[in-house]
A and B are shown apart, each in its own frame.
Chain A
Amino acid sequence: DVKVTQSSRYLVKRTGEKVFLECVQDMDHENMFWYRQDPGLGLRLIYFSYDVKMKEKGDIPEGYSVSREKKERFSLILESASTNQTSMYLCASRPPGANVLTFGAGSRLTVL
């Protein structure tokens, strides 16, 4: 089974801090995604990456950046965290040719 691991399950940060959320997948998938999940809003795509060092903006990229230096690792970066970035962040990966996502368990971020 594909495993997508988000190392930080719960984080509490202060406004203005830099935040790194890490995601690692073990199945050599080219495509990786970052979503945020908020009640009543479903999952919204922040960024995705279709290969190493390649990235594209999703629907809500403002306030976020990403890094994909190795195929298995996709990091989400909040340069200066704000309270409206308090949310559940979900990482996912996808094999080539199939539009089916495997998600990590999520990182719940609280910004005070």
Chain B
Amino acid sequence: DIEMTQSPDSLAVSLGERATINCRSSQSLFYNSNNKDYFAWYQQKPGQPPKLLISWASTRESGVPDRFSGSGSGTDFTLTISSLQAEDVAVYYCQQYYSNPWTFGRGTKVEIK
């Protein structure tokens, strides 16, 4: 199985400041055949299911605010919230869909400082 390691486990950021979450996979998620990284980010608020934010490492889903951005390739990926808003308080998960079984990181809890 591909192991997904997120860091930090939690972080507290002031409103309007930048939040950065990292995710590292135990093997490369990049397919040379189509130049894509098989990697996604989700946001989960309390009592709700996860919501897809970003796929293919950096493609923001329709309706997701542009303060959310994804970057990275291969084994190292980053989710950046450029200006944290109160509604961004949540747990964020990374996920690989390169190989079965699809696996998730353990999550990063984002709070307001």
A is bound by B: no
Q: Give residues in A with beta carbon < 8 Å to B.
A: none
